[in-house]
Structure 1
Amino acid sequence: MGNPAFKGKQFYAPKRVYRNADGTNREFSEMWTGDWWWFMQMELPDGVTIAPVIVSSDKTQLTRFAGDKQAWPVYLSIGNIEKETRRQPSARAMVLIGYIPISKLECFSRKTRSLEGYQLFHECMRTLLRPLIDAGTNGVDMQCADGFIRTIYPILASYIADYPEQCLVACCKESACPRCIINPKERGARLFSDSRDPGITIRVLGEKADGENPPEFDDHSLRAINPFWADLPHCNIFTSMTPDILHQLHKGVFKDHISSWATEATEGGEGEVDARFQCMSPHPSLRHFKRGISLTTQWTGTEHKNMEKVFLTVLAGATDPAVIRAVRGVLDFIYYAHFETHTDESLGLLDAAWLTFHDNKHIFEDLEIRKHFNISKLHNIKHYIDAIRSHGTADGFNTEGTERLHIDLAKMGYKATNKKEFIKQMTIWLRRQESIQRFCLYLQWAVPGYTAEISKNGSEVDEDEEEDEEEDEEEDDVNRVAAGDEVVESYTIAKKPALHNVSVTSIVSDYGATDFLQHLTSFIDTERLVGDIALSAASAFDLYKQVGFVLPPIPEVTSKPTPDVIHAVRAVPAMITSQGIKQAVPGRFSTVLVQESPSIVAGGPLSGLRVAQVRVIFKLPTEFGQYNHPLAYVHWYTPLRPTPNDLDTNMFTISRSSHNHRQRTSVIPVAKIIRSCHLAPKFGRKMPDTWTSSTVLDDATNFFY
């Protein structure tokens, strides 16, 4: 609370935010915009400040190739700090408060060993969180980052963990739900069940400990444990179980279930799906699975996300439409769940995506791929809407953040030990690292102009290195298109073109710009440019290889601008050199969105935009006329419709635009390009064997957008 580094990044009171003046479309983002903080504030004395305590625990492997050395770190943060700061490991807004011991518990019989292990966890957590009992009951005065002293009530509000650990904390079996008391055999249905009640659970567990046999013990699928949260004031441990996007969605619903079911339901099975992934059109933000997906044995969350981006178009045309709709429901749910800012409207779309899956999941039973859907992770996503409304958006509680902390606060510490009694050595090592970090922060505060930081390997990052980075950034010119006083778009391009004096013949043959001279002449006439000489086949041009864009932040997706790059690079054939055979490099011609006409608000976000493929990026020589922006020769695609025209995928379908059986092309200013976009080919029922990733944009005739 008092860390000055968090000044301006902390909030001390709940608030309700609405998109509409009449209060009909509420917004949810940070923890203080949710219902939990609002209702908790009304239960406490007037004028006090709540510190929503966020706890996370996750067992991790320390050894890499051999051995079974593990650590069980417990992390803590507070919901007063904005979630973007909490997600940054370098901000140190989430701190390590202890390691839970990992023991084989050989002193107990096999029959009781598991239960004693569960109880050991709760006893350790009780010890770690004991200070919250008095502070959460009576409050404690603290100096906050803004310099004010407030009476703080720290209350356990969120527990970040994967599903097995959520069940461990909730004292329930892993066949049950840690938030509600649904029957384990009904988890696959669209049912709404009663939430778990902490008071009832504590009473039932107490009666069980006294030798009684209350019926709720089996009905609620409980374990006979004395929970650590029983004495924590104002704590509802069950509603504190927040969404886990990594394990529940990416690694759970998508990877473990829906992707394998859909692959089995696809005509041609794994072979066809692999071939489609191998031939997927490229884009800078996509990973190319050059070997397909079936041969990959070790998956990461990043790979799951890259699969999800194109998985729907991979399946399109090769499986039953109900499979496509079920997969679309899951993917839509995943993307809506990632929103960093939600509203009542977007939560309605999240719920609609969940219903879309349930309306179409029967196809997997019809195809005899599944016999039931009593799967914990399929049921858990039902609680996402309630969790977002009460605690804020799910990106603030993702286990990806805590897994990243394992590197700094567990694995690096283990690497620094001699592997004997390593937990003690790890704590000493971490204490020294924290001392160094605190001293660096003190120097930055006490010494004006001091900017050096201690990196992980102990080296300093000084001002000279920052100056070098600034010099590198000056290599690009930034151009902006202004509409009145408002900057509409910006792009960056190299000061000097990469290729000089490229002939028209080379542009036509190497870049596929068949009508280059014709359309450049038309552009010069339209813009009324006056030059010294006329265009001819003997003219030469300077070409750029790429143009960079900065996409404005979208509150639902990110709070930071996003870099974007478009390419126009010709193919390089294989050649024999003195060092051996140099492999051929395919050409890269990006597909982009172009502002073809003024946008109309009522027409939607794509109004006035059209898809094109950039074939050449060049600078107009001054002898042909003075023009301030680089130009691009583009191939056009058919216009986008007002609404998606493929009902199963809910995507747009377009094809190459032609006139008199010739590709429709133009020369346009680079300033008219809004951003890059990805076109996925329509593979049909069976993908042609001749298609490759580098040629699919030329080989395919229809595309998804």
Structure 2
Amino acid sequence: MSQPRSGCNTWLDELIKFNSTLPPSEDGTSQPPDSHHASEQGENSYHEQEEYFNRGGNWGTDCEAEVTNYFPEPPLAFEEGYTFLSLFDADEKSVHRKTNLYYPFSSQREWEIASWLLCLGLSMGKIDSFLLLEMGNMLGTCSRSYLVVQLSSDKMCITALIGDHVAYLLLISLTNIHMNTRLKSSLNTFLLTALLPVPKFVHRKKQMKGVLQDWLVHQCLDVVLEPLKLAARLGIMMSDPIGHSHYCFTPLASYIADTPEAMMLTCVGGKTSPVTMAMYKQFGDAFRHEPRTKSTTLAQLDVVHSHADPHNLEAFFHEAQKFRLNGIEKPFWSDWPLAEPSCFFTPESLHHIHKQFYNHDVQWITSTVGDSKLDFWFSILQPTTGYRHFHGGISKLKQVTSLCHRDIQ
């Protein structure tokens, strides 16, 4: 009985299995097998199996391979149905999305730029004006990677009470780095690029000493930043952290500087806006003046060059003053593609918010209410965790740092 294909296996089981594989009869009725006919059929089936096994065959495998299942009255199926994915193919633009997942954008880079612009919170009009610029068109190309440069420079006193020793630092970073990462000083996202010289010139006029210092700063920046300007103009192949090569360009997007230094770098004189065409007499106007563009400043310098020789420093400076310029012959950004002084001099919190509040708003309030009353108001304020409490007031503070400016505000 343990041998499934032996004579001990009953012929009736084989007959039932064989009968179940037959299609139904034409009249739709099933006739029970005659006992005499079944006996003869069972004997013939047994002799056929024995002869088949003697030839080395496998009856069960061969029979199962030829079995066809019949299902009477199956449910109807129509070919006009659709699936969820077929809805994508029904789109008239699906042909383009088969080769470009970011359609209607030409590439992933262009989609990232569009996503970045939307996350800035700008209006559609401002986004359109950006895309109309040459820089916006270049950023939209798919074959380039952009390492957008952010510079910062400032003079820092490195000695106290033992001499006038000043370090002029030039730092560099990338706007590609996320803001939360760049704000952490421990991550060193700003790298020291150069130490600019701080010389003391010998000239009979003090004003010319300042002009010479400004000339030297622009010439040093021109030399130090020449590789970045060359990469912004022609591009350069660079490797990413995983070893892939990219065709990179380095436009200048931001230069962090205080107002006096921004005026020097934009080549304008004193009491003149570094980002607009307004002068000090127009600072109170109720409208925004037109921006001081790169083309405007360079056109004014061309006029100055036509009337005075740059090597004649005093004559060149006097001609530049007619356009409220500071006498710089060649700005460092003049040959930097897409560099626009009215755009890359962006506001920063230290000088344009905290120090502006301390140097102007606090002085106005002090002149209005007096030192003693203002000190009393600060002394009765509730102490707040994370901020300094000025229990003695603010009128007699010494060596006020940027942190104090923030806490006072």
TM norm. shorter chain > 0.5: yes
**Secondary structure in 1 matching 2:251:** strand
Aligned twin of 1:202: 298
Is 1:43 the equivalent of 2:43?
no
Structure 1 residue 167: Cα displacement: 0.5
Aligned counterpart for 2:114 among listed residues 3, 6, 15:
15
Aligned counterpart for 1:141 among listed residues 237, 242, 248:
237
Aligned twin of 1:392: none
Residue by residue, what CA displacement relative to the aligned partner does 1:10-67 show, whole Å, maximum 9, x if unpaired? Answer: x99423468xxxx8x9626xxxx99869952413654212111111111111102220
**Secondary structure in 2 matching 1:228:** coil
Residues of 1 paired with 2:210 and 2:114: CA distance? 44
With structure 2 as the length reference, what TM-score do the two structures score?
0.63
- Flag the structure with higher strand content: 1
Residues of 1 paired with 2:278 and 2:252: CA distance? 25
Residues of 2 paired with 1:184 and 1:122: CA distance? 25
Q: 1:652-663 to 2 correspondence within 5 Å?
A: none
**Secondary structure in 2 matching 1:282:** coil
Aligned twin of 1:222: 325
Aligned twin of 1:232: 336
Aligned twin of 1:280: 381
Residue pair 2:304, 2:319 contacting (<8 A) in 1 also: no
Residue pair 2:194, 2:224 contacting (<8 A) in 1 also: yes
Aligned counterpart for 1:119 among listed residues 210, 215, 229:
215
Residues of 2 paired with 1:159 and 1:256: CA distance? 23
Structure 1's unaligned 5+ residue stretches are 1-10, 309-705
Letter in 1 for 2:183: R
Q: 1:177-196 to 2 correspondence within 5 Å?
A: 177-196=273-292
Aligned twin of 1:384: none
Aligned counterpart for 1:265 among listed residues 368, 372, 378:
368
- Flag the structure with higher helix content: 2
Residues of 1 paired with 2:348 and 2:387: CA distance? 24
Is 1:307 the equivalent of 2:408?
yes
Deviation >4 Å, runs of 4+? 33-39, 215-220
Structure 1 residue 86: Cα displacement: 1.9
Structure 1 residue 182: Cα displacement: 1.0
Larger Rg: 2
Structure 1 residue 136: Cα displacement: 0.9
Residues of 1 paired with 2:349 and 2:323: CA distance? 25
Structure 1 residue 108: Cα displacement: 6.9
Structure 1 residue 290: Cα displacement: 1.4
Letter in 1 for 2:191: V
Residues of 2 paired with 1:34 and 1:100: CA distance? 39
Residue pair 2:268, 2:324 contacting (<8 A) in 1 also: yes
Residue pair 1:126, 1:228 contacting (<8 A) in 2 also: yes
Aligned twin of 1:488: none
Residues of 2 paired with 1:280 and 1:162: CA distance? 31
Letter in 2 for 1:302: L
Residues of 2 paired with 1:47 and 1:223: CA distance? 40
Residue pair 1:133, 1:233 contacting (<8 A) in 2 also: yes
Residue pair 1:142, 1:151 contacting (<8 A) in 2 also: yes
Letter in 2 for 1:258: D
Residues of 2 paired with 1:219 and 1:105: CA distance? 25
Cα–Cα, structure 1 residues 54 and 34, in superposed 2: closer, same or farther, change >3 Å? farther
Aligned twin of 2:8: none
**Secondary structure in 2 matching 1:72:** strand
Aligned counterpart for 2:345 among listed residues 237, 241, 244:
241
Structure 1 residue 234: Cα displacement: 1.6
Cα–Cα, structure 1 residues 38 and 160, in superposed 2: closer, same or farther, change >3 Å? farther
Cα–Cα, structure 1 residues 217 and 34, in superposed 2: closer, same or farther, change >3 Å? farther
Aligned twin of 2:66: none
Letter in 2 for 1:62: I
Aligned twin of 1:297: 398
**Secondary structure in 2 matching 1:231:** coil
Aligned length: 286
**Secondary structure in 2 matching 1:59:** strand
CA RMSD of aligned residues (A): 2.9
Residues of 2 paired with 1:108 and 1:91: CA distance? 47
Residue by residue, what CA displacement relative to the aligned partner does 1:293-336 show, whole Å, maximum 9, x if unpaired? Answer: 1121221222222222xxxxxxxxxxxxxxxxxxxxxxxxxxxx
Is 1:27 the equivalent of 2:27?
no
Aligned twin of 2:56: none
Residue by residue, what CA displacement relative to the aligned partner does 1:453-506 show, whole Å, maximum 9, x if unpaired? Answer: xxxxxxxxxxxxxxxxxxxxxxxxxxxxxxxxxxxxxxxxxxxxxxxxxxxxxx
Residues of 2 paired with 1:272 and 1:280: CA distance? 13
**Secondary structure in 1 matching 2:147:** strand
**Secondary structure in 1 matching 2:307:** coil
**Secondary structure in 1 matching 2:262:** helix
Query: After alignment, is 293-302 or 225-234 more displaced?
Result: 293-302
Residue pair 1:136, 1:232 contacting (<8 A) in 2 also: yes
Structure 2's unaligned 5+ residue stretches are 1-108, 309-315
**Secondary structure in 2 matching 1:171:** coil
Residues of 2 paired with 1:237 and 1:95: CA distance? 22
Q: Percent identity?
A: 27
Residues of 2 paired with 1:34 and 1:270: CA distance? 50
Residues of 2 paired with 1:147 and 1:38: CA distance? 34
Q: RCO greater where, 1 or 2, for CA within 8 Å and sep 6 or more?
A: 1
